[in-house]
A = this chain, B = another copy of it.
Amino acid sequence: MVEMRQENKKNQERCFVDTIIVGAGFAGLKAAETLKEKGQKILLLEAQDRVGGRCKAGKIAGNVVDFGGQWIGAHHPLFREEAAKAGIELYPQYEEGKSLLSFKGKVKKFGLIPPFNPFALCEIALFIYLWGRDLKQIPKNQPWKAKKAEKWDSISFESWVMSHLRTKGAREFARAVVNGLFCVEASEMSYLYFLECMRQGRGMKVMMAASGGAQQDKARGGAWSVAKAMADRLGNKIRFQQPVVKIMQDESGIQVTTKAGEIYGAKKLILAIPPVLAAKLIFEPKLPSQKQGLLRRMPMGNVIKVHVAYERPFWREKGLSGEAIGLGLHFATVYDQTPKDEEIGILVGVIEGKYAVKMSQMSQEERRQIVVKDLVHYFGEQAKNPIEYVDCDWAKEEWAEGGYAGCMATGVLSLYGEALGRKEGHIHFAGTETATEWTGYFEGALQSGLRAANEILGN
């Protein structure tokens, strides 16, 4: 290999720092802050003109909302710490009143227990038990070492459903769990990876719940304001619109080339971007086949985030929480997003998996019509005339290519998984996909950034 750090190369470099961090999502921001606090000279390179990654501010009817990730769970201490540092208030997801479930074309209200027939309810209790039992067998940090890892990784979630459940209600509900949590279809996800994600999120009940669960709170002013506050503290350590295209390393360090041809040098690098984007970079020397193979086997799920504003939160008047689950509907996950003053009513939700793929090819107006039709189906005629509709198709975001996170189909975790968070020479890997707690969430991103920074600090 060429000795890169020879003088003529050095002279090309815009600057030389201790650690370059690539990607200013929560993982990169946390890594940068951690290293900076320890006195490291750092540089955070971001492809876009904003921070936050899959966390992004948007607006509807004059209100700031989150076009990307939004909820802060009861068990998300790292995010809570960041919000507190920034002085940003967290407030609970509204969930007063009944929720709605649409199944086989009929909408039913429910409180704690979804309105299925007793056979389906038994099977729902069964799968919650079975998942809880199985995920206990997944060793933390090394899911590929579970005794049944190979077996579970050879089974898609859909295969598991078909061989363990008999009722249509339980099957559809189980699939809705995967659609809703990972924005993929049940056949796209390995049962082993599903279990690992469940383990990281403390089981299905916590992951699906608002109060006490992963959707407990939201940030006043949007989750993005927390990323913004972290970025402000880093100041000029962040350089925007610097998409990295190439990462070279040798014994002496790292050299990074941006799309515009600028070159930065460092001793170490933290790559805090989604696997699907890391797969596009040129590495010299090439990454090991296992890592390369992994990066090409973690495609993003598909998700379109939707906000719909009404003159007032009319569902609250009917004793409804605004939460709706639609089995077999395009707009299958809905929550209340009404601002504090209740001046207007807002519903937020996501179009997931195959419906997101399909609706991504439509115009926004066509999507609006489908969403409003589903909202009328849930909430009645009052939902017919929103005052505004906005959506954000994450597959179209150049620096995300989907959401919420990279997912693994059958065979990936057991064969390639050990490369996930493994450093390669001077390159350390962060990003929510590499987390060992709350992968796919802000919390996982923060944890991964902290872990990567600590690797470099030798902790």
A interface residue numbers (CB < 8 A to B): 150-151, 153-156, 158-159, 162, 184-190, 276, 279-280, 286, 288-290, 292-293, 296-297, 299-300, 302, 354, 356-358, 360-361, 393, 395-396, 398, 401-402, 409-412, 414-416
**Total copies of this chain within the assembly:** 2
Are B187 and A401 interface neighbours, CB within 8 A?
no
Are A361 and B299 interface neighbours, CB within 8 A?
no
Given A187-B411, A354-B415: A299 in contact with B293 (beta carbons within 8 A): yes
Are B409 and A288 interface neighbours, CB within 8 A?
no
* Bound Cα distance from A379 to B196, whole angstroms: 44
Are A293 and B414 interface neighbours, CB within 8 A?
no
Q: How close is A130's CB to chain B, nearest CB, in angstroms?
A: 17
* Bound Cα distance from A357 to B393, whole angstroms: 35
Are B279 and A188 interface neighbours, CB within 8 A?
no
8 further interface pairs, Cβ-Cβ under 8 Å (given A185-B415, A288-B360, A293-B299): A154-B158, A158-B411, A159-B410, A188-B410, A289-B302, A289-B395, A290-B357, A410-B410
Which 8 residue pairs are nearest across A and B when measured between Cβ atoms? A187-B411, A409-B409, A188-B411, A289-B360, A154-B158, A154-B187, A289-B395, A296-B299
A sample of 16 inter-chain contacts (CB < 8 A) reads A150-B187, A154-B156, A154-B159, A158-B410, A159-B159, A187-B190, A187-B410, A188-B411, A188-B415, A190-B410, A279-B279, A289-B302, A289-B393, A289-B395, A290-B358, A292-B395
Are B411 and A289 interface neighbours, CB within 8 A?
no
Determine the chain B residues whose CB is within 8 A of the CB of A290 once the complex forms: 357-358, 360-361
Determine the chain B residues whose CB is within 8 A of the CB of A402 once the complex forms: 289, 293
Are B357 and A289 interface neighbours, CB within 8 A?
yes
Q: How close is A226's CB to chain B, nearest CB, in angstroms?
A: 29
> Of B186, B293, B360, which contacts A395 at CB under 8 A?
B293
Determine the chain B residues whose CB is within 8 A of the CB of A280 once the complex forms: 279-280
* Bound Cα distance from A187 to B289, whole angstroms: 18
Determine the chain B residues whose CB is within 8 A of the CB of A184 once the complex forms: 411
- Residue of chain B at shortest CB distance from A396: B286
* Bound Cα distance from A68 to B257, whole angstroms: 32
Determine the chain B residues whose CB is within 8 A of the CB of A361 once the complex forms: 288-290
* Bound Cα distance from A358 to B189, whole angstroms: 24
Q: How close is A297's CB to chain B, nearest CB, in angstroms?
A: 5
Are A296 and B401 interface neighbours, CB within 8 A?
yes
- Residue of chain B at shortest CB distance from A192: B187
> Of B156, B188, B297, B416, which contacts A155 at CB under 8 A?
B156
Q: How close is A185's CB to chain B, nearest CB, in angstroms?
A: 6
* Bound Cα distance from A279 to B162, whole angstroms: 33
Are B302 and A299 interface neighbours, CB within 8 A?
no
Q: How close is A208's CB to chain B, nearest CB, in angstroms?
A: 22
- Residue of chain B at shortest CB distance from A163: B163
- Residue of chain B at shortest CB distance from A296: B299
- Residue of chain B at shortest CB distance from A408: B409
Given A159-B155, A279-B279: A187 in contact with B357 (beta carbons within 8 A): no
Are A411 and B411 interface neighbours, CB within 8 A?
no
Q: How close is A407's CB to chain B, nearest CB, in angstroms?
A: 10
Determine the chain B residues whose CB is within 8 A of the CB of A189 once the complex forms: 411
